[in-house]
Amino acid sequence: MEDSPSSDAVIGRRALLAVGGMAVIGFPVPARPRNPMPVPHGPSYPLDRPLYYVNDASKAIALTIDDGPDPTYTPQILRLLHTFGVTATFSMIGINVAAHPHLARTVAEAGHRIANHTWTHADLVRLPASAVRSELARASDAIHAAAGVHPSLFRAPYGAWSPAVIKQCEQMKMVPLDWSVDPRDWARPGVSSIARNIMDNTRPGSIILEHDGGGNRSQTVAALRIVVPWLLHQGYHFQTP
């Protein structure tokens, strides 16, 4: 399905005018991250605590896309990432994978990484250990059945972690993946707001949170059309955790 001509394009152009000045005045001073943990180094990450940053060598950053796959917005984001040669991590909900297995397979075949994002997007802190185990296991099974990969990353819905969640991640050998830049695109605050938030807060090692599922994500797509080339122009390069 092709992007609609465009509401996204029109929104994107307007937002670029709104924030474009930032692209010529240099890299903005980042805001304090919501959880200032030290940036890990090395090829692997610990399983016993959430990961908020990637290795910051050579201005590496990570883009994560949550709550899909979605038949409307996942293909749009995939085309955008392909245009700029960017690799991202898609945190997928199991029931969405089961409903759209071809999309999960397409994401994997395009070279992107898939993370487990539970079966139903449940708040795991409220669940007993047995239910936590079921949420993670069913999602991993669905992802493997659709895309042929076993997720080695897990993102907790709402960023809600508990000892039971961490323990289950360790048992399934999945790195608990959080984020350090949250533009709140899920709330649809406007394209310029999403783009400005990412520009203000991204720094070497940042993990950026965006969404391709859970509702109308046209603002997210339009904002990514602005910030991805801007970040590349600033010397950042994208990697997966």
Residues forming the active site = 66, 211
Q: Which residues on neighbouring strands pair with residue 64, listed in sequence order?
A: 89, 209
Whole-angstrom distance, CA of residue 230 vs CA of residue 195: 10
Strand-strand pairing, 175-176 and 89-92: unpaired
Whole-angstrom distance, CA of residue 56 vs CA of residue 71: 33
**207 Cα distance to chain centroid:** 8
Whole-angstrom distance, CA of residue 101 vs CA of residue 239: 24
Residue for token digits 């749009």? 76
Question: One-letter amino acid identity for 118?
Answer: T
Closest-CA residue to 220 (of 81, 25, 34) = 81
Q: What is the DSSP string of 110-166?
A: TT-EEEE--SS---GGGS-HHHHHHHHHHHHHHHHHHHS----EE--GGG---HHHH
- By residue count, the chain amounts to 241
